Amino acid sequence: MKCEACDKQATHVYEAYGNRMHLCSSCKDQHEIQKAYNDRMIEIVDLSNRGDCDAALSILQGLLDAQGDRDHTGGFRYGILSHQALVLKQQGRFAEGLEKLRSINTFPSQSEFLVNQLAIAKLLGELGKHADAIGELERGLDAASESSLPTALSLFAEYARITRTESSEVPARFRDLFQDVVRWWGIPGSKAPEACLEPFSETIQAADKQRRESAARYDHLQKNLDMLRSKHTDNKPLREALRAYIENEPVGFYRDSAKSALRELESEA
Ligand SMILES: [Zn+2]
């Protein structure tokens, strides 16, 4: 039997959260260490919210010291170090947070690399190092390819935000990448010729705003669907709500997500 998480031979049966999975030994390690982290998540978040950040940091460090050797993808180490950086940032310990983020050298995917570059840039911004922040954003954007296009929008938005406070501009060499990002999200309007006449950073901020507003509408739709699901046994009201949403939603990514949810309900009806 093949491992359910990769293509290797399954050698273990792994049980957690009421599920049984056939896994190879590396994937079993990865699931076990992630579970060890998840099991302490509430405690860690609770401690940092109460201001006991050193206790939160020390639990995270303990997990990394005890389980780090079994992290075959780098995903666990990435998760712990980013979490430590976040806790340090909450405390205003920006330089220490930066050190944590900079010590991550393996990323589970390119998207996480971009997320990390953004987090580094934000901490540099907190330290007043705007030119360095821009350098880190550019490093992230230069590495972006098809798989990390959705994440690149947040880096563009941060870049635009910095340039607008500094009266500078996002370089034109990023325009093609930005068009790919806009195409990935299905954000309308940004391809209009007149859009090229306005400053690049304004175009970026407008697209980012559209994406965020659309995400909020999608979130609202999900809550509405949950409410309808709890009130009706028949899924007709849900289908109607989805159709109305699809009709009015300008951003392609969210509209398409709603379309596939609608298709699923129609096949059940
Ligand atoms: Zn596997």
Where a domain ends, among 53, 81, 106? 106
Q: Domain check: are 100 and 44 in the same one? A: yes
Q: Which two tokens stand for residue 55?
A: 């206790």
Residue 4: C-alpha distances to residues 13, 90, 96 (Å) = 10, 38, 38
- The pLDDT, as a whole number, for residue 17 is 87
Distance 80 CA to ligand 1 centre (A): 22
Q: Long-range contacts for 187-196 (Cβ within 8 Å, ≥24 apart)? A: 187/211, 187/251, 187/252, 188/250, 188/251, 188/252
Q: In which element (H, E) is residue 56 found? A: helix 53-67
Distance 72 CA to ligand 1 centre (A): 11
Distance 29 CA to ligand 1 centre (A): 9
**pLDDT mean for each 10 residues of the chain (269 residues):** 93 92 95 96 96 96 96 95 96 97 94 98 96 97 97 98 90 95 90 63 95 98 96 94 97 98 92
CA dist., res. 177 & res. 258, Å (int):
26
**How many domains does the chain divide into?**
2
**Domain interval for residue 51:** 40-106
Distance 249 CA to ligand 1 centre (A): 39
- The pLDDT, as a whole number, for residue 241 is 97
CA dist., res. 209 & res. 105, Å (int):
32
Distance 76 CA to ligand 1 centre (A): 16
Of 22, 30, 19, nearest to 1 by C-alpha is 22
Q: Domain check: are 56 and 88 in the same one? A: yes
- The pLDDT, as a whole number, for residue 196 is 58
Distance 6 CA to ligand 1 centre (A): 4
Angle between the N-to-C axes of helices 53-67 and 25-39, in degrees from 0 to 180, rounded to the nearest 10: 170
